[in-house]
């Protein structure tokens, strides 16, 4: 019988006497990880965390991050995964909106001291009563090792584990909203396992597969498409705290990685290294590219770099808990470059017109998906939930596609204004809100423009306040960098006297793009 909660899936995997995580020179088996997870779960219970309580989790890709995640899942607590690139504006909203009671964080990352940050941040998150740190924290905080060393109450742990249900929330994964207000997609135990299992079955993933664990765990590419896919297939993961092209190539060679998932930008950076031909990459049997379409020249370069390893495309979103569309294993290179793939796992897909009618093959409309992979909605946002999570279980993706007669989906554009920079979804309005908060800025409008490395980058047009000294690009970038994750900071800034407006005075994004990006 297929496991329907994360804790049950890990218990099943623990029966296998084999490796799960490769962390440098260390290897952790499923059984060892299962035991560590129980200790974390017991420690959380001992600090008053239980079913339904939210925990902010901020760190790089480490076994400790995963232990905290699975430990919380085992007792029904809900993880709020946070990107180590987030800063005050994002952390304040996400911890506050989710009502997090605890934060588990890395003490520091290169260039930023999270312990010092959270010590000064506490007044902005009054619901957070407990701060736990991997590494050095601030006075009065708790070391993660102390959490795992707490004596367990077997009866309490067994009772808590027994209460967890498949449709319980597992995590609240924030994705930037088109209104500039991040929305927390509520991913359940059932939905994440459905997506991971569909992916594993679609590609016949095996228990001797080794995946590269470099995609961030606070994103479905890292937690669902990598960790959960390994869990349900019995494979292992070679962990990297964060992606770096040289580190990734070394890990592929060292751990004999067989299943490589990356966004196109990562492939560009790996293939572009002068020492690339010196690595032994012969173990790779399959390459997977998600985040955006792989244009034909890059697809061909990947095939040459990994001979014998076919390249496939992946489409998914936070709201689908991970992959919901994949290339078919027998797709030819032209089809893989041209299409997103086909719907997987017994899920359903349809193309809907503006009035909701289902469109026939060849016509362009919004892609909608239905199945167990769908999240249960947005956390405490009923209006936004109703717009995206439709009656009868359909999920409105916001992406415009055409469906071919054989079921392949061809991406035609985005219903809204999001662009994808280096695999990260960016909604311009969030950056626009920060730019217009600058005292010299009257208006700001952002669009995604093509980039040879990152796929797309943000170009923002800024209109200064009349009569004011125009801001410089440098001061606006510094202003954004202090308030936003780095991938949301404008890569291009244009100071202009005007931007096109609609008759009612709104910025005319379509006309702006047409004027400055003819032919797109």
Written as one string, the DSSP assignment of 349-390 is: EEEE-TTSPBPPTT-EEEEEEESTTS---BTT-HHHHHHHB-
* HSE-up (13 A, CA, CB side) for residue 14: 14
Domain-ending residue, one of 385, 414, 443: 414
* Residue 331 to residues 185, 229, 282, 301, Cα–Cα distance (Å): 32, 22, 22, 18
Tell me the pLDDT of the chain averaged across its residues: 92
Identify whether residues 398 and 451 lie together within a single domain: no
DSSP 428-492: HHHHHHHHTTSTTEEEEEEEEEEETTTEEEEEEEEEEPTTSPPPPHHHHHHHHHTTS-GGGS-SE
Percent above pLDDT 70 for the chain: 96
Domain at 470, CATH number: 3.30.300.30
Residue 174 lies in a domain: no
Q: What is the domain extent for residue 512?
A: 419-516
Identify whether residues 126 and 139 lie together within a single domain: yes
Residue 179 lies in a domain: no
Domain at 217, CATH number: 3.40.50.12780
Identify whether residues 385 and 316 lie together within a single domain: yes
Is the pTM higher than 0.85? yes
Picking from 60, 105, 48, 55, the residue whose alpha carbon sits closest to that of residue 77 is 55
Identify whether residues 23 and 144 lie together within a single domain: yes
Tokens 């669009």 appear where? 447
Q: What is the pLDDT of residue 292?
A: 65
Q: Which residues contact 274 (CB under 8 A, 6 or more apart)?
A: none
Identify whether residues 410 and 425 lie together within a single domain: no
Say whether pLDDT at 3 is over 80: no
Mean pLDDT computed over 194-216: 97
Q: Is 319 left (phi over 0), alpha (psi -120 to 50) or beta?
A: alpha
Decide: residue 201, CB within 10 A, 0-12 exposed, 13-18 middle, 19+ buried: middle
Residue 262 lies in a domain: yes
Tokens 């009569």 appear where? 467
| 183 neighbors 381 (Cβ within 8 angstroms) | yes
Identify whether residues 33 and 114 lie together within a single domain: yes
3-state secondary structure 13-53: HHCCCCEEEEECCEEEEHHHHHHHHHHHHHHHHHCCCCCCC
Residue 183 lies in a domain: no
Domain-ending residue, one of 414, 445, 472: 414
Binned at pLDDT 50, 70 and 90, residue 464 comes out as very high
Say whether pLDDT at 1 is over 70: no
Q: What is the pLDDT of residue 417?
A: 76
Residue 171 lies in a domain: no
Identify whether residues 400 and 450 lie together within a single domain: no
Spatial separation of the C-alpha atoms in residues 383 and 215, rounded to whole Å: 31
Spatial separation of the C-alpha atoms in residues 242 and 59, rounded to whole Å: 10
Residue 173 lies in a domain: no
Q: What is the pLDDT of residue 203?
A: 97
Say whether pLDDT at 506 is over 70: no
Domain-ending residue, one of 414, 436, 469: 414
Identify whether residues 274 and 386 lie together within a single domain: yes
Q: Is 89 helix (H, G, I), strand (E, B) or coil?
A: helix
* Structural domain total, the chain: 3
Binned at pLDDT 50, 70 and 90, residue 504 comes out as very low
* pLDDT tens by residue, 368-423: 999 999 999 999 999 999 999 999 999 999 988 999 999 999 987 677 777 889 98
Identify whether residues 268 and 305 lie together within a single domain: yes
Residue 99 lies in a domain: yes
Identify whether residues 161 and 48 lie together within a single domain: yes
Domain at 109, CATH number: 3.40.50.980
Which DSSP letter does residue 151 get? P
Identify whether residues 55 and 105 lie together within a single domain: yes
* pLDDT tens by residue, 80-124: 999 998 989 899 999 999 999 999 999 999 999 999 999 999 988
Identify whether residues 233 and 144 lie together within a single domain: no
Residue 176 lies in a domain: no
């Amino acid at each position: 019988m297929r496991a329907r909660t994360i804790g049950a899936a890990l218990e099943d995997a623990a029966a296998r006497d084999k490796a799960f995580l490769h962390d440098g020179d260390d290897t952790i088996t499923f059984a060892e990880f299962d035991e560590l997870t129980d200790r974390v779960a017991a420690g959380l219970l001992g600090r008053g965390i239980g079913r339904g309580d939210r925990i902010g989790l901020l760190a790089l890709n480490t076994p400790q991050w995963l232990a905290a995640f699975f430990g919380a899942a085992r007792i029904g607590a809900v993880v709020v995964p946070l990107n180590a690139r987030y800063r005050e504006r994002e952390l304040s909203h996400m911890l506050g909106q989710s009502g997090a009671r605890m934060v588990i964080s890395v003490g520091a990352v290169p260039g930023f001291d999270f312990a010092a940050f959270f010590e000064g941040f506490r007044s902005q998150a009054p619901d957070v009563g407990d701060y736990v740190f991997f590494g050095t924290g601030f006075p009065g905080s708790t070391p993660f090792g102390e959490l795992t060393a707490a004596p367990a109450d077997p009866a309490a742990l067994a009772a808590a584990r027994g209460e967890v249900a498949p449709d319980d929330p597992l995590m609240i994964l924030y994705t930037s909203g088109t209104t500039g207000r991040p929305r927390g997609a509520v991913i359940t135990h059932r939905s994440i396992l459905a997506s991971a299992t569909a992916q594993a079955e679609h590609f016949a993933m095996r228990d001797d597969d080794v995946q590269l664990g470099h995609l961030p765990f606070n994103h479905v590419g890292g937690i669902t498409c990598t960790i959960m896919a390994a869990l349900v297939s019995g494979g292992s993961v070679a962990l990297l705290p964060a992606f770096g092209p040289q580190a990734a190539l070394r890990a592929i060679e060292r751990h004999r990685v067989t299943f490589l998932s990356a966004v196109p930008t990562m492939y560009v950076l790996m293939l572009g290294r002068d020492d690339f031909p010196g690595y032994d990459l012969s173990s790779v049997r399959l390459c997977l590219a998600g985040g955006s379409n792989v244009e034909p020249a890059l697809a061909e370069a990947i095939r040459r770099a990994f001979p014998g390893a076919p390249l496939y495309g992946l489409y998914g979103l936070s709201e689908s808990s991970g992959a919901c569309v994949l290339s078919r294993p027998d797709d030819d290179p032209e089809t893989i470059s041209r299409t997103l793939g086909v719907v997987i796992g017994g899920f359903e897909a349809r193309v809907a017109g503006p009035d909701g009618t289902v469109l026939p093959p060849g016509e362009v409309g919004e892609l909608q998906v239905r199945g167990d992979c769908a999240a249960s909605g947005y956390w405490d946002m009923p209006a936004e939930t109703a717009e995206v999570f439709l009656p009868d279980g359909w999920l409105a993706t916001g992406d415009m596609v055409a469906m071919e007669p054989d079921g392949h989906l061809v991406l035609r554009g985005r219903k809204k204004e999001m662009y994808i920079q280096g695999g990260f979804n960016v909604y311009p309005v969030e950056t626009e809100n920060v730019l217009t908060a600058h005292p010299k800025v009257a208006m700001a409008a952002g669009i995604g423009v093509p980039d040879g490395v990152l796929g797309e980058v943000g170009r923002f047009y800024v209109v200064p306040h009349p009569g004011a000294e125009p801001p410089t690009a440098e001061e606006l970038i510094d202003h954004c960098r202090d308030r936003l994750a780095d991938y949301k900071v404008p890569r291009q800034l244009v100071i202009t006297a005007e931007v096109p407006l609609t008759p009612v005075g709104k910025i005319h994004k379509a006309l702006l793009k047409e004027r400055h990006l003819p032919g797109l």
